[in-house]
Amino acid sequence: MKVVLQRVKEANVKVKGEVVGKIGKGVVLLIGIERGDGEEGAKYLANKIVNLRIFPDNKGKMNLSLLDVKGEILAVSQFTLAASLKKGRRPSFENAEEPQKAEKLFNFFVKELRDRRVKVETGIFGAMMEVFLINDGPVTYILEYPK
CA torsion through residues 31, 66, 51, 7, sign: positive
Active-site residue, 78 included: yes
Question: Does CATH number 3.40.50.2000 belong to domain 2-144?
Answer: no
pLDDT at position 19 is: 98
pLDDT tens digit string along 10-20? Answer: 999 999 999 99
Q: What gap in Å lies between CA 21 and CA 77, rounded to an integer?
A: 13
Question: Mean pLDDT in the chain?
Answer: 97
Active-site residue, from 79, 108, 125, 132: 79
**The pLDDT of residue 46 is above 90:** yes
What mean pLDDT is predicted for residues 65-80? 97
Q: Which helix (H) or strand (E) holds 40?
A: helix 39-51
Look at residue 145 in the predicted model and tell me its pLDDT: 96
Q: Is the pLDDT of residue 103 over 80?
A: yes
Whether 73 shows a pLDDT value over 80: the answer reads yes
Supply the pLDDT for residue 30. 98
Q: What is the pLDDT of residue 147?
A: 72
Q: Is the pLDDT of residue 68 over 80?
A: yes
- In this model, does residue 47 exceed pLDDT 90? yes
80 annotated active-site: yes
Pairing of β 72-77 and β 119-122 = parallel
> What pLDDT sits at residue 95?
94
Q: Is the pLDDT score of 115 beyond 80?
A: yes
pLDDT reported for residue 13: 98
* Catalytic residue selected from 55, 78, 106, 122: 78
How confident is the model at residue 122, as a pLDDT? 98
Q: Is the pTM of this model over 0.85?
A: yes
